[in-house]
Structure 1
Amino acid sequence: MTPAEVDEFLAEQRTCRVATTGPDGPHATPLWYAWHGGALWLTSVVRSQRWADLQRDPRIAVVVDAGTDYGELRGVELRGSVEVVGEVPRTGELVPELEGPEQLFADRYTGGTFGHDGRHAWLRLVPDKITSWDFRKI
């Protein structure tokens, strides 16, 4: 995919698969996300295996894919290290760089309103590497 196609694809899909590395090996979980400003924004429960893994080792791999039949398959893999943005857990303190991702997330998943539940916090992945595929082009 071209960079513009990657942006469009990540903006339209709803679920990603996040892989972290823990003391017992790999751990993979699905999450909702926001693609904003060239970064993948993830909100994670701070009392989760994923959060514990990323506090020990911030390296992450994320896959977003779509399609059922072979000729429809397409996707994007993003790799890099995450950083925490905002308070942990998130309670609603004003954090200007979270305004865009939170509104985008709210518009996509929660009817336009983002709630701070005191259980989640934000992670930002600015990918070091992006790999994409689109079998529709074959």
Structure 2
Amino acid sequence: METTEIADRRPTAARTRDTLDRLAAERDVWVSTAHPDHGPHQVPLWFLWDGRAVWMCTGSTSATARNVRAEPRVRLSLPDTVDVVLLQGEAECFPDQRVPEAAAQAFADKFGWDPRGEEGPFLYIRVAPRTVRAWRGEPELRGRVIMREGKWLTQIP
């Protein structure tokens, strides 16, 4: 695999715009959770960005579901090591029959799959990021934080 080094540093506004574009377009996110007794767990899940938060869905008895119920702090990362986007926040859990209709419908529209119609219970997980980091290569490591305390560090168009 060829490594791409991007020498130009994007300003915070460009990083934010690029990150929002990726959150709207991507379909997979790596979800990192931890259980107080069982330790770390990482899994890829489909996700939907609603403009303010990431929505995911998993079986209600999965390790991810068990972990976020015990410890809601999570880290999410988009699957690219050259154009890195990391989000950190706390998970809110919604059983499949109590999820807000707009979120469930948007998720179903994006993926052509509605977990609410499946056998067995599912859990929707909403994560509103508190911190977002984005960088492309070493030149962008400085200034990689583009959201802090749930606030974008630049105006969003």
- What is the TM-score of this pair, normalised by structure 1? 0.77
What is the distance in 1 between the residues matched to 2:124 and 2:30? 16
**CA deviations over 1:28-72 (Å, ceiling 9, x no partner):** 0110000003101111211111111111110100111337xxxxx
Query: For residue 126 of structure 2, what is the amino acid of its counterpart?
Result: R
Gaps of 5+ in 1: 68-72
Report percent identity of matched pairs: 25
In the alignment, which of 12, 17, 36 is matched to residue 30 of structure 2? 17
Partner secondary structure for residue 107 of structure 2: helix
What is the distance in 2 between the residues matched to 1:66 and 1:35? 17
Taking a change above 3 Å as real, the CA distance of residues 115 and 20 of structure 1, as seen in their structure-2 partners, is closer
1:52-131 aligned at under 5 Å gives the runs: 52-66=66-80, 73-85=82-94, 88=95, 90-91=96-97, 97-99=100-102, 101-110=103-112, 114-116=114-116, 117=118, 118-131=120-133
Q: How far has the Cα of 1:119 moved from its partner?
A: 1.8
Q: How far has the Cα of 1:115 moved from its partner?
A: 4.4
- What is the TM-score of this pair, normalised by structure 2? 0.69
Contact 2:65/2:123 (<8 A) preserved: no
What is the distance in 2 between the residues matched to 1:26 and 1:20? 6
Partner secondary structure for residue 84 of structure 2: strand
1:27 aligned partner: 41
Q: How far has the Cα of 1:76 moved from its partner?
A: 1.1
Query: For residue 74 of structure 1, what is the amino acid of its counterpart?
Result: D
Matched residue count: 123
Gaps of 5+ in 2: 1-13, 141-157
In the alignment, which of 55, 58, 79 is matched to residue 41 of structure 1? 55
Partner secondary structure for residue 3 of structure 1: helix
Work out which of the two has the higher radius of gyration on C-alpha atoms and give 1 or 2: 2
What is the distance in 2 between the residues matched to 1:42 and 1:25? 21
